[in-house]
Amino acid sequence: MNQIPLAVPHMSGNEQKYIQQAFDTNWIAPLGPNVDQFEANLATYTGANGVLATSSGTAAIHLALTLLNLQRGDTVFCSTFTFIASINPALYLGATPVFIDSETDTWGMSPVALAKALEDAAAKNKLPKAIIIVHLYGQSCKMDEIMELANRYDIPVIEDAAESLGSTYKGRKLGTIGTFGIYSFNGNKIITTSGGGALVSNDAKQIEKARYLAAQAKEDAPYYSHSEVGFNYRLSNVLAGIGIAQLEVLDERIAKKREIFEAYKATFENNATLTFLPEWQETFNNRWLSTVLLEGIAPEKVMEQLAKKGIESRLLWKPMHTQELFQDAAYYSEKIEGSNADMLFQKGLCLPSGTQLTTNQIDYICEMLREIIA
């Protein structure tokens, strides 16, 4: 069979219409009608009061932290089990990350570990300026517990929902529960604008301030006037056209992602070697990537063997507290001994989850995986 990728962009066929509109009207520069429509459609879909389309999800996090007045010497509490894009914006602003362990029900930030970290920080009079939680692989964190802790200490929460557009917690779209939410429309996400992201909030005034900062902080004057540092974080009107068409098929993409996951789960439900990321109670998982934990066999070996069969897979995120860049960073584990995030990395694997997968390809992947683990 041909090479089966982990996940690649899946065009709906309607993108070219909106791209052509941008060309026909010469709205090629950043901003324009496509951006306005994409933001409005995203607001309708998520229920957020304010939406700003940005050049990337990383840019959206940077804007959120800037709005929270994060400065050099401040601390930010972050999930350790994530991609570094969740952390880099804090470094841009000179802040110090403190890493928080995962818990095993959702693989998201552990409320137990977070409580430990907040208690220590309060005792040292060094509470963080923000808590950045990450909804991993489409699965919501335990938001009631996390928000209760955040509210107790009066700390804003940024939801990194880059992997989780369309997922919900108790009926609410992920990204709309904390102070700010961010989405990514990078090429491998559930929908894409090629490159791009969004910042959302229920505080529309904050989003308008972000809009001003994202456009070089240009003031309303008949000349170029600036009193604050700004950024060039606007989304292209051409790329927003792709986003409009992609958002139209988001629910279809989610349905296909979940269908792929259920096919894997049904094949291996009686196999003790594999366990799947569960769907936590009262949540809905978009199943961006189908992920498993392996017992008795190293995921690197499985990945290598799958590659020989023409099947791409990927290890889970390497925890941030184990990265050389953060060797001096503080880390709070949920347990007295050991680390859940380290365990997840050591046992976990992402299986092909592209929405173009055929039934024959899924059957082939399952057959090869069954042979390998046997």
CA 344 to chain centre: 17
The backbone torsions φ and ψ at residue 30, rounded to the nearest 5 degrees and listed phi first, read -55, 150
Q: Determine the Cα–Cα distance for residues 43 and 39; give it in Å rounded to an integer.
A: 6
> What does the pLDDT profile of the chain (374 residues) look like in tens digits?
579 999 999 999 999 999 999 999 999 988 899 999 999 999 999 999 999 999 999 999 999 999 999 999 999 999 999 999 999 999 999 999 999 999 999 999 999 999 999 999 999 999 999 999 999 999 999 999 999 999 999 999 999 999 999 999 999 999 999 999 999 999 999 999 999 999 999 999 999 999 999 999 999 999 999 999 999 999 999 999 999 999 999 999 999 999 999 999 999 999 999 999 999 999 999 999 999 999 999 999 999 999 999 999 999 999 999 999 999 999 999 999 999 999 999 999 999 999 999 999 999 999 999 999 99
With CA atoms as reference, report the closest residue to 60 among 150, 144, 175, 177.
175
Q: 257 is written with which tokens?
A: 């992602």
Say what the pLDDT of residue 29 is.
Answer: 81
**What letter does residue 150 receive in the DSSP assignment?**
H
Q: Determine the Cα–Cα distance for residues 173 and 340; give it in Å rounded to an integer.
A: 26
3-class DSSP assignment, residue 303: helix
CA distances from 358 to 1, 4, 10 (A): 12, 10, 13
Q: Determine the Cα–Cα distance for residues 223 and 106; give it in Å rounded to an integer.
A: 51
Tally Cβ neighbours within 10 Å of residue 11.
13
Topology given in CATH for the domain delimited by 250-373: Aspartate Aminotransferase, domain 1 (3.90.1150)
* Cβ atoms of 260 and 138 closer than 8 Å: no
Tally Cβ neighbours within 10 Å of residue 232.
10
The backbone torsions φ and ψ at residue 119, rounded to the nearest 5 degrees and listed phi first, read -60, -45
H-helix or E-strand containing 37? Answer: helix 33-46
Strand ranges (E), 166-215: 168-169, 172-173, 180-184, 197-201
Q: Determine the Cα–Cα distance for residues 99 and 108; give it in Å rounded to an integer.
A: 12
Q: What is the pTM of this model?
A: 0.96
Q: For residue 263, which amino acid is it? A: A
Say what the pLDDT of residue 364 is.
Answer: 97
Domain boundaries, the chain: 15-248, 250-373
Determine whether domain 15-248 maps to CATH 3.40.640.10: yes
With CA atoms as reference, report the closest residue to 351 among 283, 265, 286, 278.
265
* Cβ atoms of 227 and 219 closer than 8 Å: yes
Q: Determine the Cα–Cα distance for residues 102 and 264; give it in Å rounded to an integer.
A: 24
